[in-house]
Structure 1
Amino acid sequence: MLLSPAAERNQDSLLSVLWDQLEEQPQRELFALELGSGTGQHVVHFAQDLPFVTWQPSDITEEFRTSIRAYIAATKSSCDVIVSINMLHYCSFGTIEGVFQGSGQILRKDGFLMTYGPYAINGIIIPSSNEDLDRTLREKNPEWGLPDVDVLRQLAFDNGMRLERMIEMPESNKCLIFRKM
């Protein structure tokens, strides 16, 4: 089993945000998809504290994508929650578009996409540690880098969602909640 110190540090804060969002849900049997599950620590932690949510982890390997397609087909291509933690800044814009298009298609009405990580706002990246991260990511792959919240807001709108909340998190990160309209 792999252990991610970053996942250990932020899992309780992320769980708190999920609890805040889910207590407003009128239904208590929910389905959630986590994008880019990595070690799996987050999804296991969330499943233990949110027993009314059925979690589907995912990752980039073909083996997991095949499983995801089968699971989505079995659940009539809909879910209540999609979670993407520390993923978007490691993606090309085309992949980010795919995340929002797919979320818009499979989220049920009033379901939400929760993203977590560092972001630019109106083209501005703060603090300097996030500027450094953005520069390092772009040096590794020119298609990577901190996505701009306003661009994500427009992608969400184009796919039937709206940015409902932006929550400040530790270490200059944010949780963004995009609600399906």
Structure 2
Amino acid sequence: MLLSPRAERNWESLCSVLEDVLEHQSHRELFALELGSGTGQHVIRFAQKMPFVTWQPSDIKEESLESIKAYVAATKVKTVLQPVQLDASQPWEQWPGVSPGSCDAIVAINLLQYSAFKTAQGVFLGAAQILKQNGLLITYGVYAINGTITPSCNEDLDAELRKMNPEWGLPDIDVLRQLAYANGMCLERMIEMEDYYKCLIFRKL
């Protein structure tokens, strides 16, 4: 069972955002896909707080999948499915556990900065297909805005990520907005979070 101190710190604020954007649909059963679930700490907390949502966790790494399984077993949450191995840069037809128009929400926490641009492209292409009409894609992370990264701590993070992998780095909100538009979605809200992080709420039109 993996432990992320950052996930322990930020799950409550993320949960508040999710509750805010999904609460008006709490009268019905929702289905959500989490891309890049990592340790599994987030999805377990979300399930405990929002019992009206069934969660499909996913990750590309085997160790993360094992950790998610361990959290599901330890907490005995009923609304988290067994995790699936999913590479968001691959065509959506290859994504297990989902089908066209099956998702009310897709959540991606700290995924886009730790992956190549083709992953961001894959996320939006996939979201366009597997989200229901008016479904939401919710991304969380640190971003560039119109090609500018501020403050200096975010510049340092971007440099650190690019040192780890030249294809990684802070995605630009304007580029993501264009990706969304090209896939029949719009950036509906940008929510300021702690430590210069942001939640972007995209809606399928």
Query: Per the shorter chain, which TM-score range?
Result: over 0.9
**What residue number does 2:193 align with?**
169
Deviation of the 1:28 alpha carbon: 2.1
Secondary structure (helix, strand or coil) at the match of 2:2 reads: coil
**What residue number does 1:51 align with?**
51
Identify the match of residue 104 of structure 1 among 128, 134, 142: 128
TM-score (norm 1): 0.93
CA RMSD of aligned residues (A): 1.7
Deviation of the 1:24 alpha carbon: 3.2
Structure 2 distance, partners of 1:70, 1:137, is 28
Secondary structure (helix, strand or coil) at the match of 2:98 reads: helix
1:36 counterpart = 2:36: yes
**What residue number does 1:9 align with?**
9
Sequence identity, in percent? 66
1:132 counterpart = 2:152: no
1:72 counterpart = 2:98: yes
| CA deviations over 1:111-163 (Å, ceiling 9, x no partner) | 10000000001111111111000011112211110000000001011111100
Structure 2: which 5+ runs fail to align?
66-83, 87-93
| CA deviations over 1:67-111 (Å, ceiling 9, x no partner) | x944224xx552001000011001111111001100111000111
TM-score (norm 2): 0.82
Secondary structure (helix, strand or coil) at the match of 1:104 reads: helix
| CA deviations over 1:45-80 (Å, ceiling 9, x no partner) | 0001100000000000478337x944224xx55200
**What residue number does 2:79 align with?**
none
Structure 1: which 5+ runs fail to align?
none
> Do the aligned residues in 1 keep the contact of 2:32 with 2:105 (CA within 8 Å)?
yes
**How many residues matched?**
178
Secondary structure (helix, strand or coil) at the match of 2:113 reads: helix
Alpha-carbon distance change, 125 to 70 in structure 1, aligned in 2, over 3 angstroms: closer
